[in-house]
Chains A and B, each alone.
Chain A
């Protein structure tokens, strides 16, 4: 379980290992995480070749990369196709990136962290348009969640950072998770708590994120293992 490993990660070296594992899990060419804090300090890890990372820095591509300008100050996920590649500089950059094995497709998730922190989580791959559209459609929600989990972990390792208080589940979420844990269906849980199933879905979605979980079953398991619910 990669998310379990992510939960247990104790240093930035672990993040590099984990992003490689995630890349393999999703069977894509590359996965990259990059953050910039409000002081302009940067940290990144990922699977691009050293040659490409070095070239990106030397050529100061940060300034012309449409992925960076398309994600900065935004919070919607971006398929690279949606970006503006019309300038000569960005087209040359793209040719260079493809030559260095980045891939012709990409999906980037901008992340707004605390105190002006900005991060991006990117998946890139070499694929035909149709295959890529299928991949993005199937995996985008998982990737968005993973991007945020990854960022939360990376923030823990920021030097001099006061840890954010971990978000506790509210009593209502604890109740919902408890009934799910003892095997109630969603309809039964909703009925028992006298809320609509739609409301329950939102509570579960929210609890899942707070627990760093991939799906409902995983969220229930985590709530139990953390002692948040007793069954």
Chain B
């Protein structure tokens, strides 16, 4: 299922938290060879994980992490503006209507439907919170996966070559893309909405029950 959890909420789910940070170490250090720091517990964490980001996580039936991504507002410290200005033509992308999406991670061996499920969740955030764009950092391997699941970003810039390339890209909401990723994920729009409502509350419930 899809989980939407701020870092402080993830603390209450140790299995999910630990497997996510270990899968991140496996993906970013072992498989991609990025220069990331991995602590004694085997967790790949950086300073942005300490800023109470919002994680979207695909949780597997056994409670472990299957894939995830991390959101932060572009106002204030964030990866894109702190580290990737060379890929955005020098533009500091800053707006409360643009969030950054980083550390897109898939656990080893998960099917592409997990990536699609994560993108589906991204669409829920865009649509329900009035966010206009995501600006994301991703590795070369993801370009093909995003295309396959029908949610290709607009690439702003890339550095490095071949499988070492890192790109910054943009997403915005489109109903057509949302329908495509739902199909690729094998998740109905209703179920996706229910998971979102589970995390953030349902607006269909009358508020003033006691008034």
Residues of A near any B CB (own CB < 8 A): 73-77, 79-85, 91, 94-95, 98, 104-105, 112-114, 129, 133, 140-141, 144-145, 147-148, 167, 170-173, 195-196, 198-199, 201-203, 205-206, 208-210
Q: Indicate whether A206 sits within 8 Å of B94 (C-beta atoms), given known contacts A82-B201, A83-B201, A105-B207.
A: yes
Contacts of A201 in B (CB 8 A): 132-133, 172
**List of 7 A-B pairs having minimum Cβ-Cβ separation, nearest first:** A82-B201, A104-B208, A209-B95, A198-B154, A140-B130, A170-B90, A172-B89
Q: How far does the alpha carbon of A85 sit from the alpha carbon of B95 in the complex, in Å?
A: 31
Partner of A210, one of B54, B94, B170: B94
* A-binding residues in B (CB < 8 A): 6, 8, 52, 54, 72-76, 89-98, 125, 129-130, 132-133, 135, 154, 156, 170, 172, 200-211
In the complex, what residues of A have CB within 8 A of residue B130's CB?
Answer: 77, 140-141, 144
Q: Are B203 and A148 in contact (CB under 8 A)?
A: no
Looking at chain B's contact residues, is the secondary structure mostly helix, strand, loop, or mixed?
loop
Rounded to whole angstroms, the CA-CA distance of A167 and B74 in the bound complex is 13
User: For residue B73, which residues in chain A have a CB less than 8 angstroms away from its CB?
Assistant: 75, 112
| Interchain residue pairs with CB less than 8 A apart (5) | A85-B209, A95-B211, A141-B130, A148-B75, A199-B156
Contact B203–A198 (Cβ < 8 Å): no
Give the Cβ gap from B67 to chain A, nearest Cβ, in Å.
21
Q: Which residues of B contact A148 (CB under 8 A)?
A: 75, 96
Instruction: Known contacts A95-B210, A105-B207; decide if A81 and B94 are in contact (CB<8 Å).
Output: no
Which of A105, A144, A199 is within 8 Å of B170, CB to CB? A199
| CB of B167, distance to nearest CB on chain A (Å) | 13
Given the complex of chains A and B, what is the CA–CA distance between A170 and B75 in angstroms? 16
Q: Are A75 and B54 also in contact (CB < 8 A) when A82-B200, A82-B202 are?
A: yes
Majority DSSP secondary structure for residues of A touching B: helix
A206 to B89, CA, bound (A): 13
Q: Taking each of A75, A208, A210, which has the highest tally of chain B beta carbons within 10 Å of its own beta carbon?
A: A75
Selected from A76, A112, A170, A172, the residue in CB contact (under 8 A) with B129 is A76
- Chain A residue with minimal CB distance to B76? A112
Q: Contact between A80 and B97 (Cβ–Cβ < 8 Å)?
A: no
- Provide the bound-state CA to CA distance between A171 and B208, in Å: 51
Nearest-CB residue, chain A, relative to B53 = A75
Question: Bound complex: CA of A196 vs CA of B207, how far in Å?
Answer: 43
User: CA separation between A16 and B72, bound complex, in Å?
Assistant: 30
Contact A196 B154 (CB under 8 A): yes
With a CB–CB cut-off of 8 A, which chain A residues contact B6?
Answer: 73-74
Apart from A81-B204, A141-B97, A201-B133, list 4 A-B contacts with CB within 8 A.
A73-B8, A79-B203, A202-B93, A206-B95
B106 to chain A, nearest CB (A): 24
Distance A94 CA – B208 CA, assembled complex (angstroms)? 8
CB distance from A173 to the nearest CB of B (A): 6
In angstroms, how far is the closest chain B Cβ from the Cβ of A116? 11
CA distance in complex: A140, B96 (Å): 11
A206 near B201: Cβ-Cβ < 8 Å = no
What is the bound-complex CA distance between A113 and B96, given in angstroms? 12
Q: Which residue of chain A has the shortest Cβ distance to B207 in the bound complex?
A: A81
Give the residues in chain A near B205, CB-CB below 8 Å: 81
Chain B nearest CB, measured from A229 CB (Å): 15
Could you say which residues of chain B place their CB within 8 Å of the CB of A173?
Answer: 91
Shortest beta-carbon distance, B101 to chain A, in Å? 13
Is A145 in contact with B8, judged by CB distance below 8 angstroms?
Answer: no
- Nearest-neighbour CB distance to chain A for B72, whole angstroms, equals 8
